[in-house]
Chains A and B, each alone.
Chain A
């Protein structure tokens, strides 16, 4: 589950609002634990710190910035296992209303073994 939001300053956010955000994430995590499993999650630093690697005409170019330029930026993710899309939607709805949440199935690549 990818989480996107309009970049803003977390540091200057009021303590009360921070607690609200924490509470919604807790609600999400409790839902995921009750209905499935959590594998991992991370909050990402702002998109202004992103570096993008692209292969253009056989050459590797490294560029400043995220791969999609938009008002909203991917700000974090949850790797969870839930029974179906409806439960994933129910879980995703628990996250802060200021987020846009993208749900993507994780896939296993046949014959690939990580080292």
Chain B
């Protein structure tokens, strides 16, 4: 049975984009040239494969075609006497000669690692690094990157262009850094990937409410890094965390297009295979010893998500455990939103009174969330007047239409507001 040529192309682009980019970069050391050449090759494949049939080795076909295009472009440029600056590479890479696609050794993987580390260099702005990594390592289109980060396509393209310019001008190398800085650099990779992941779950509006498909791309990025460096704790912990959060995607948006809260989600829609994979990762010996604060924060967040994943129903959630996990997280990285989340867990574990006490002095400027939680807890305690005022405060501060509608509904449902 033959797979349609279009699907073969889609798969090879999805799986091999970063490898092809990194091989071409190692050879030509020019970002614009490599991107254009690879783009041309994919375009040629989209035209030719449906007619001629997909080649036996689709990625080798793309690589050969892209190389041919690169050479054509270089020839045209030398006529125009243009000279572009080359990427800096490490010494062992300066030797000429393309690496074979079938190279079984470390060379190919090293190139991919070089690419990942270059895209996520700490000298790049985090959003720009995220966008660039999605573009160059995974081949995500600028259109989709814009949709993920809720910016215009022009803004996304400008971010990517600026990042590429900085790489070339500042001399960010296409290289594997010194061994002593690698762990730190891998943490930056993890942060970059997590930024892209959380962007996919930042509520937007209309059809872009959640962009879970694109958040899935961020998980692919984490997988690439775990594949390259399986013993990097931050990456392993982040893969577990993102898999757990992502496993709920089908249950998070209702048929009416609204966000569904965790307690109201149909847990049968959670992806069990992904949860199981994450739980296995969490038990990995890589995470057993002492790890960096960042890795530890991913681990504890994953454990919180795992508590939810393992509860068959909301009532069976072990909220005491979750509150304890939040205490650990607060000790690592104190933040008002973590204190808020902890207060919710405390309220679920020990009642609204304890929750309100935990909420004391928590402030998140510009956000409606603290007021919304306080309103809910006051209403549970039977203080309808206090709850009404707190809902009013939350409604005034809320900028998301769907969430505001939900708060208004909750306020209306309080006893004693409507005349009988």
A residues sitting closer than 8 Å to B (CB atoms) are 83-86, 88-90, 103, 105, 107
Bound-complex Cα distance A107 to B170 (A): 10
Stretch in B173-181, B204-212, B289-297, B339-347 with 4+ CB within 8 Å of A: B173-181
18 contacts between A and B (CB under 8 A): A83-B88, A83-B171, A83-B173, A84-B171, A84-B172, A84-B175, A85-B121, A85-B170, A86-B172, A86-B173, A86-B175, A86-B177, A86-B178, A86-B181, A88-B171, A90-B178, A105-B171, A107-B169
Q: Give every chain B residue within 8 A of A89 (Cβ-Cβ).
A: 123
Bound-complex Cα distance A103 to B171 (A): 11
Contact yes or no, A85 B178, CB < 8 A: no
Instruction: Evaluate whether A103 and B170 lie within 8 angstroms (CB atoms) in the complex, with A83-B88, A85-B121 already known.
Output: yes
Q: Nearest chain A CB to B127's CB is how many angstroms away?
A: 19
CB interface residues, B 143-175, toward A, < 8 Å: 169-173, 175
Instruction: List the A residue with the shortest CB-CB distance to B173.
Output: A84
Q: Give every chain B residue within 8 A of A86 (Cβ-Cβ).
A: 172-173, 175, 177-178, 181
Instruction: List the A residue with the shortest CB-CB distance to B87.
Output: A84
Q: Give every chain B residue within 8 A of A83 (Cβ-Cβ).
A: 88, 171, 173
Select which of A85, A105, A107 is within 8 A of B173 by beta carbon.
Answer: A85
Contact yes or no, A105 B169, CB < 8 A: yes
Bound-complex Cα distance A38 to B137 (A): 36
Q: Give every chain B residue within 8 A of A90 (Cβ-Cβ).
A: 178, 181
Select which of A84, A103, A107 is within 8 A of B88 by beta carbon.
Answer: A84
Q: Give every chain B residue within 8 A of A103 (Cβ-Cβ).
A: 170
Bound-complex Cα distance A89 to B88 (A): 15
Max count, chain B CB within 10 A of own CB: residue among A85, A86, A90: A86
Q: Give every chain A residue within 8 A of B181 (Cβ-Cβ).
A: 86, 90
Q: Give every chain A residue within 8 A of B175 (Cβ-Cβ).
A: 84, 86
Q: Give every chain A residue within 8 A of B88 (Cβ-Cβ).
A: 83-85
CB interface residues, B 169-210, toward A, < 8 Å: 169-173, 175, 177-178, 181
The number of residues on chain B lying at the interface, defined by a beta carbon within 8 Å of a beta carbon of chain A, is 12
Q: Nearest chain A CB to B323's CB is how many angstroms away?
A: 39
Bound-complex Cα distance A89 to B173 (A): 12
Bound-complex Cα distance A86 to B88 (A): 10
Q: Nearest chain A CB to B153's CB is how many angstroms away?
A: 29
Bound-complex Cα distance A78 to B143 (A): 42
Instruction: List the A residue with the shortest CB-CB distance to B177.
Output: A86
Contact yes or no, B177 A105, CB < 8 A: no
Q: Give every chain A residue within 8 A of B177 (Cβ-Cβ).
A: 86
Instruction: List the B residue with the shortest CB-CB distance to A90.
Output: B178
Q: Nearest chain A CB to B12's CB is how many angstroms away?
A: 32
Contact yes or no, A105 B178, CB < 8 A: no
Bound-complex Cα distance A75 to B171 (A): 24
Q: Nearest chain B CB to A62's CB is how many angstroms away?
A: 32
Max count, chain B CB within 10 A of own CB: residue among A85, A90, A103, A105: A85
Q: Give every chain A residue within 8 A of B173 (Cβ-Cβ).
A: 83-86
Bound-complex Cα distance A88 to B123 (A): 12
Instruction: List the B residue with the shortest CB-CB distance to A107.
Output: B169
Q: Give every chain A residue within 8 A of B121 (Cβ-Cβ).
A: 85
Q: Give every chain A residue within 8 A of B123 (Cβ-Cβ).
A: 85, 89
Bound-complex Cα distance A48 to B175 (A): 42
Instruction: List the A residue with the shortest CB-CB distance to B88.
Output: A84
Instruction: List the A residue with the shortest CB-CB distance to B89.
Output: A84
Q: Nearest chain A CB to B27's CB is how many angstroms away?
A: 18
Q: Which 9 residue pairs spanning A and B have beta carbons closest together?
A: A84-B173, A84-B88, A84-B171, A85-B171, A85-B172, A85-B170, A86-B177, A105-B169, A105-B170
Q: Give every chain B residue within 8 A of A107 (Cβ-Cβ).
A: 169
Bound-complex Cα distance A110 to B362 (A): 57
Q: Nearest chain B CB to A103's CB is how many angstroms away?
A: 7
Q: Give every chain A residue within 8 A of B171 (Cβ-Cβ).
A: 83-85, 88, 105
Q: Give every chain A residue within 8 A of B169 (Cβ-Cβ).
A: 105, 107
Q: Nearest chain B CB to A84's CB is how many angstroms away?
A: 4
Bound-complex Cα distance A105 to B178 (A): 21
Bound-complex Cα distance A70 to B110 (A): 43
Given A83-B173, A86-B175, A90-B178, 8 additional A-B pairs, CB 8 A: A84-B88, A84-B173, A85-B121, A85-B171, A85-B172, A86-B181, A105-B169, A105-B171
Bound-complex Cα distance A98 to B103 (A): 47
Q: Nearest chain A CB to B287's CB is how many angstroms away?
A: 28
Instruction: List the B residue with the shortest CB-CB distance to A83.
Output: B88
Bound-complex Cα distance A89 to B121 (A): 12
Bound-complex Cα distance A85 to B90 (A): 12
Bound-complex Cα distance A5 to B3 (A): 63
Bound-complex Cα distance A15 to B123 (A): 36
Q: Give every chain B residue within 8 A of A85 (Cβ-Cβ).
A: 88, 121, 123, 170-173
Q: Nearest chain A CB to B177's CB is how many angstroms away?
A: 5
Q: Nearest chain B CB to A1's CB is how many angstroms away?
A: 12
